[in-house]
Amino acid sequence: MLNQPMMEKLLAMRLQGMVEALKTQEQDRAINDLSFLERLALLVDQQWSWRENQALARRLKAAKLRGPACVEDIDYRAARGLDKTVVRALARDSAWVRNHENIFVLGPTGVGKSFVASALAQKACRDGYSALYLRAAALLRELALARADGSLRHFLARLGRIDVLVIDDWAMAPLNENERREVWEMCEDRYQTRSTVLTSQLPVSRWHEQIGDPTIADGILDRLVHNSHRIEMRGESMRKKRNPPQDEKKE
* Per-domain residue ranges of the chain: 4-61, 64-239
Helical spans, DSSP H, in the chain: 4-12, 16-27, 36-63, 84-93, 95-98, 113-126, 136-149, 152-161, 177-190, 207-211, 214-225, 238-242, 246-250
Residue 207 pLDDT: 95
Rounded Cα distance, 78 and 82, in Å: 9
At 167-178, the pLDDT tens digits run: 999 999 999 999
DSSP state of 228: E
Write out the chain's pLDDT in tens, 251 residues.
457 788 888 888 888 888 888 888 878 878 878 888 888 888 888 888 888 888 999 999 999 998 889 999 998 887 788 888 999 999 988 999 999 999 999 999 988 999 999 999 999 999 999 999 999 999 999 999 999 999 999 999 999 999 999 999 999 999 999 999 999 999 999 999 999 999 999 999 999 999 998 999 999 999 999 889 999 998 777 666 555 545 434 43
Q: Are 63 and 125 in contact, with CB atoms under 8 Å apart?
A: yes
Angle at 109 between CA 100 and CA 202, to 5 degrees: 55
91-118 tens-digit pLDDT: 988 999 999 999 999 999 988 999 999 9
Task: Output the pTM of the full model.
Answer: 0.81
Report DSSP letters for 56-71, one per residue.
HHHHHHHHT-SSS--G
- In degrees rounded to 5, what are phi and psi of residue 238? -75, -20
- Predicted pLDDT of residue 249: 42
- Indicate the burial class of 78 (C-beta count within 10 angstroms; 0-12, 13-18, 19 or more): middle
- The answer as to CATH 3.40.50.300 being correct for domain 64-239 is yes
Q: Residue 239 has what pLDDT? A: 60
pLDDT in the model for residue 238: 65
